[in-house]
């Protein structure tokens, strides 16, 4: 985000929700931004101790208000990152090797 470039198109309050369906979304965080510049890192852990990765089918990012009461928003790119865990087959110690070109092609969200 770049407040100097976007001015009233820059989000000021953002609400992040997660859940398994659209009907059971839970509020995770509400973030208030003051003239943001550059990337914004938001930690989405599961709220447990010790914190672990968020487990959800849906992550919803809602822009509640913009700076200067703007009506539209500009978000040029959104990256969601997660730890890469080894997945084990049921009743086995074998690890699924996600190393083929076909699997690697879908390893990142754009």
Output the pLDDT for position 26.
87
106 — pLDDT class (breaks 50, 70, 90): low
The stretch 94-98 carries a mean pLDDT of 59
User: Can you give the pTM of this predicted structure?
Assistant: 0.65
Q: Which residues, 6 or more positions from 89, have their beta carbon under 8 angstroms from its beta carbon?
A: 95, 96
Q: Which residues pair with 17 in a beta bridge?
A: 27, 60
- Residue 88, pLDDT score: 55
Residue 83 has pLDDT above 80, yes or no: no
The pLDDT value recorded for residue 98 is: 61
pLDDT above 70: residue 86? no
């Amino acid at each position: 985000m770049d407040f100097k470039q976007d001015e009233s198109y820059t989000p000021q309050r953002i609400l992040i929700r997660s859940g398994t369906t659209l009907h059971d979304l839970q509020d995770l965080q509400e973030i208030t931004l003051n003239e943001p510049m550059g990337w914004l890192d938001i930690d989405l852990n599961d709220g447990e101790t010790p914190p672990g990765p968020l487990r959800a089918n849906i992550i919803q990012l809602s822009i509640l208000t913009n700076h200067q009461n703007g009506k539209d928003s500009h978000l040029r790119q959104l990256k969601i990152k997660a730890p890469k865990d080894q997945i084990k087959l049921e009743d086995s110690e074998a690890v699924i090797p996600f190393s083929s070109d076909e699997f690697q092609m879908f390893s990142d969200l754009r």
